[in-house]
């Protein structure tokens, strides 16, 4: 076995090849991560040490490092086990050392793995192994004649003797690592996955109808189809089989027979080919099927997790509307529309519930309340949750805004995803944040806040509850959680956090801060007032030098004692920043943001033995745009008037909408009719698109053309192609790739009703004017 240092070097070389880096870069990064550094910190502030590895490379490195270390631990355990049995040979040790995957290791270890008493063991105990060897040695002799010499009290007749010999050879073949590896490779390349309907399950499994009689090559099954078929199989709707194609059905048996060298026509060869067929049918085909099912499931899980992670990242890094007074509306029919007003900092100023829909139909009272909140608090934004009655509520708001005088600036209304808002509302965190607020009203607050700053609000919700994945409940939950936590951490640290306004949940995701340290920071801030400098973080209980090093650069203080505290320049590099300022001959505050002066400076002039060119360039970039937000500028979609339900849609309509979810087969777009439409991957652009994320991301505002409306199944086909998209028939064919085991986008809003004809804008002296007069008097 290798020494620990040799093993570490081998792992570093392998990872370096996979992430397109040098082994020394990997070794440096591994050292930092093992010392407790986080990926965001290493990616941002240790570029000299790692040679500039970015956060994606570092995440892949960390994941692969965990797998390879587990592989080495398993390799060592297997070596120890075989050595304890006194069965280790030089050839075996070489095979173990060369194994590159856990599957290969387990194949090699199988003959030496402690096991329960098998049929082959019993056959050996009954003295039948020499019979198996005799048949292998002389193919010209009749196996039955040979078997006659091995009868005993335990072996009643020739059939029992031959069955025992067969069991011995079957076990030997099933434990042959070379044969198993060859069969696995063959099956991975040539096997066909088939799904068949279980008789009598047609109605119950209607949503899986595409898989009632389905066949495709195993190696080409996309993740979303694999998960759909696996779910259908788990629900007992279909049976799933993985086997060689019909015209290749005998190939695996031939491979097993070749291992026995059963090529001739003698009695022994004929019997051995029967053993080969038995071994494949009874032993190897089952294990191969299980292996390939497991591989397919793992592959599909990784695809689904990757899609969820990318969508979550896009959602977290969506454009913030910014610090503006906002009215949040959580729509509802019978239970009313919940309203919450927050100021520019997110503080709750007031709440209310209005009942414009049935059964109360109090439209006037609702409009009066909305106008009152808008004028009293100077509302600039209105965030409307996209759940039940969202379009009816948006129409109510639009009609209400028409009542405002021309001199009053009308707020901007925005449809906001309310995914996870109900989970947050009922959480312990929400109860602690709003102990005196009804659960239903907390959702309206969350909707308003997530418009102001999506990242700051969404981090309060468990990522899996945000709902931007596909088959998220079917995948490995530990792996999914770990991946999503990494996405949140990267997003929070990429944007940076205001130390004096950030909540504890937001601070928890900052590099180097645990939940306990985040709470300590908030408590210290509440007891001692706002932080005036980053240095004061050292006064927070239990926040030691290591945590300070990790977190300081990601925490911002606006208007503090030290101007650099408002930037992403790390305190350890303040000296370099001041040298740059001094060279410019200007005051620090005067130079920050002055691109003309800063571009005249040569970064190479400030490199020293601790801070290299990457860090100096980052400092110059930050001084040029201090505290810059990497998120895009705020933009909203405008839904078409009069298009409120799926029945209002017609093929050929060109509409604007917001991308709500991106899957492997296309993108879902909210066009304001309670049911997201699907832009299949073939309809995303006038070119071939392999990955929908190349074209769109969650939160994008896009123009789409309606290509198909299927009212009974609540399916909407959309296109983003310039030619207006495929015909309905072509679009339907293209959408065959979409999974049938989950809803397309959001489910239809249960209990959704039309708000009825909206009241017309009043003439002078009418209802609207009377409302405004009443409010002025009040």
Q: Is the dihedral of CA 353, 356, 357, 361 positive or negative?
A: positive
Residue 660, in any domain of the structure:
yes
Q: What is the pTM of this model?
A: 0.78
Residue 760, in any domain of the structure:
no
By C-alpha distance, which of 395, 364, 397, 367 is closest to 382? Answer: 397
Residue 340, domain extent: 326-452
Sheet bearing 192-197, strands edge to edge:
213-217, 192-197, 238-243
The pLDDT value recorded for residue 634 is: 85
By C-alpha distance, which of 414, 406, 407, 339 is closest to 377? Answer: 339
The percent of residues above 70 in pLDDT, for the chain, comes to 93
CATH code, domain carrying 401? 3.30.420.140
User: pLDDT digits over 756-766, tens only?
Assistant: 333 333 333 33
Residue 23, in any domain of the structure:
yes
Residue 370 has pLDDT above 60, yes or no: yes
User: pLDDT digits over 17-71, tens only?
Assistant: 999 999 999 999 999 999 999 999 999 999 999 999 999 999 999 999 999 999 9
Confidence at 719, pLDDT banded by 50, 70, 90: very high
Cα–Cα separations (whole angstroms), residue 295 to 33, 226, 292: 29, 11, 5
Domains identified in the chain, total number: 3
Confidence at 502, pLDDT banded by 50, 70, 90: very high
Asked if residue 359 has a cis previous peptide bond (ω within 30° of 0), the answer is yes
Structure tokens at 502: 């950030």
Residue 770, in any domain of the structure:
no
Where are the extended beta strands (E) located within 283-432?
326-330, 337-342, 348-354, 381-385, 412-416
Kindly state the DSSP code that residue 681 receives in the 8-state scheme.
G
Task: State the pairing for strand pair 412-416/213-217.
Answer: unpaired
CATH code, domain carrying 666? 2.40.50.140
User: pLDDT digits over 617-650, tens only?
Assistant: 999 888 888 777 888 888 877 788 788 889 999 9
Confidence at 609, pLDDT banded by 50, 70, 90: confident
Domain boundary pick from 112, 145, 160? 112
User: 701 forms bridges with which residues in the sheet?
Assistant: 658
The pLDDT value recorded for residue 1 is: 58
Residue by residue, DSSP assigns 148-161 as: GGG--SS--SHHHH
Residue 341, in any domain of the structure:
yes
CA 678 from chain center: how many Å? 20
Domain boundary pick from 87, 112, 137? 112
The pLDDT value recorded for residue 776 is: 41
Residue 29, in any domain of the structure:
yes
Domain boundary pick from 402, 435, 452? 452
Residue 181, in any domain of the structure:
no
The pLDDT value recorded for residue 409 is: 87
Residue 391, in any domain of the structure:
yes
Q: Exposed (0-12), middle (13-18) or buried (19+): which is 371, by Cβ within 10 Å? A: buried
CATH code, domain carrying 25? 1.10.10.650
């Amino acid at each position: 076995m290798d020494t620990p240092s040799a093993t570490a070097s081998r792992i570093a070389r392998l990872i370096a090849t996979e992430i397109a880096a040098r082994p020394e870069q990997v070794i440096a990064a591994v050292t930092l991560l093992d010392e407790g550094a986080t990926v965001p910190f290493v990616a941002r502030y240790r570029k000299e040490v790692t040679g500039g590895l970015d956060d994606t490379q570092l995440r892949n490195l960390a994941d692969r490092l965990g797998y390879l270390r587990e592989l080495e631990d398993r390799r060592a355990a297997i070596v120890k086990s075989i050595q304890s049995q006194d069965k280790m040979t030089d050839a075996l040790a070489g095979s173990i050392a060369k194994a590159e995957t856990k599957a290969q290791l387990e194949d090699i270890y199988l003959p030496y793995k402690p096991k329960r008493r098998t049929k082959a063991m019993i056959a050996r105990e009954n003295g039948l192994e020499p019979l198996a060897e005799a048949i292998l040695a002389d193919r010209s002799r009749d196996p039955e004649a040979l078997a006659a010499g091995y009868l005993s009290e335990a072996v009643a007749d020739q059939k029992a003797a031959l069955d025992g010999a067969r069991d011995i050879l079957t076990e030997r073949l099933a434990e042959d690592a070379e044969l198993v590896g060859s069969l696995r490779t063959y099956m991975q390349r040539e096997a066909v996955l088939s799904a068949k309907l279980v008789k009598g399950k047609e109605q119950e499994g209607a949503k899986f109808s595409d898989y009632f009689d389905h066949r495709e090559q195993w190696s080409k099954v996309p993740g979303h189809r694999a998960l759909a078929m696996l779910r259908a199989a788990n629900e007992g709707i279909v049976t799933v089989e993985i086997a060689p194609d019909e015209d290749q059905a005998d190939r695996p048996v031939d491979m097993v027979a070749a291992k026995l060298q059963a090529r001739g026509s003698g009695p022994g060869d004929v019997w051995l080919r029967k053993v080969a067929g038995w071994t494949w049918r009874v032993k190897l085909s089952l294990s191969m099927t299980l292996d390939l099912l497991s591989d397919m499931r793992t592959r599909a899980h990784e695809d689904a997790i990757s899609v969820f992670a990318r969508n979550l990242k896009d959602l977290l890094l969506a454009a913030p509307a910014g610090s503006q007074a906002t009215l949040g509306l959580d729509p509802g029919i019978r239970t009313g529309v919940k309203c919450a007003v927050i100021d520019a900092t997110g503080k709750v100023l007031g709440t209310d519930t209005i009942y414009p829909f049935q059964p109360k139909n109090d439209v006037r009272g609702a409009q009066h309340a909305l106008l009152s909140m808008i004028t009293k608090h100077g509302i600039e934004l209105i965030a409307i949750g996209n759940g039940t009655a969202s379009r009816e509520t948006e129409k109510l708001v639009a009609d209400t805004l028409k009542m405002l005088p021309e001199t009053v600036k009308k707020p901007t209304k925005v449809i906001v995803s309310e995914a996870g808002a109900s989970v947050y509302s009922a959480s312990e965190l929400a109860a602690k944040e709003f102990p005196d607020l009804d659960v239903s009203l907390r959702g309206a607050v969350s909707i308003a806040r997530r418009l102001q700053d999506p990242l700051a609000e969404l981090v309060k919700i468990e990522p899996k509850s945000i709902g931007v994945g596909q088959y998220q409940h079917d995948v490995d939950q530990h792996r999914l959680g770990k991946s999503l936590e990494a996405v949140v951490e990267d997003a929070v640290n990429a944007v940076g956090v205001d130390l004096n306004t950030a909540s504890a949940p937001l601070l928890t995701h900052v590099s180097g801060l645990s939940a306990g340290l985040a709470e300590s920071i908030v408590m210290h801030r509440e007891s001692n007032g706002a932080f005036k400098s980053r240095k004061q973080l050292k006064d927070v209980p239990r926040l030691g030098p290591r945590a300070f090093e990790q977190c300081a650069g990601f925490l911002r203080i606006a208007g503090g004692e030290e101007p650099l505290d408002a930037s992403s320049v790390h305190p350890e590099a303040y000296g370099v920043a001041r040298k740059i300022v001094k060279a410019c001959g200007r005051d620090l505050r005067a130079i920050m943001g002055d691109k003309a002066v800063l571009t005249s400076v040569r970064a190479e002039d400030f490199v020293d033995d601790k801070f290299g060119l990457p860090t100096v360039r980052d400092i110059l970039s930050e001084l040029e745009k201090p505290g810059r937000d990497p998120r895009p500028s705020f933009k909203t979609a405008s839904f078409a008037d009069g298009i409120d339900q799926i029945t209002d849609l017609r093929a050929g309509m060109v509409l604007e909408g917001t991308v709500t979810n991106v899957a492997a087969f296309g993108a879902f777009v909210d066009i304001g009719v309670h049911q997201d439409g699907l832009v299949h991957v073939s309809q995303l652009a006038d070119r071939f698109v392999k990955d929908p994320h190349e074209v769109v991301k969650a939160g994008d505002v896009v123009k789409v053309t309606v290509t198909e409306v299927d009212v009974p199944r609540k399916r909407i086909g959309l296109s983003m192609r310039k030619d207006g998209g495929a015909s309905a028939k072509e679009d339907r064919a293209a959408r065959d790739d979409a999974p049938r085991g989950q809803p397309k986008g959001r489910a239809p809003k249960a209990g959704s009703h039309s708000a009825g004809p909206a009241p017309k804008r009043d003439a002078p002296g009418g209802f609207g004017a009377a409302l405004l007069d009443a409010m002025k008097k009040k």
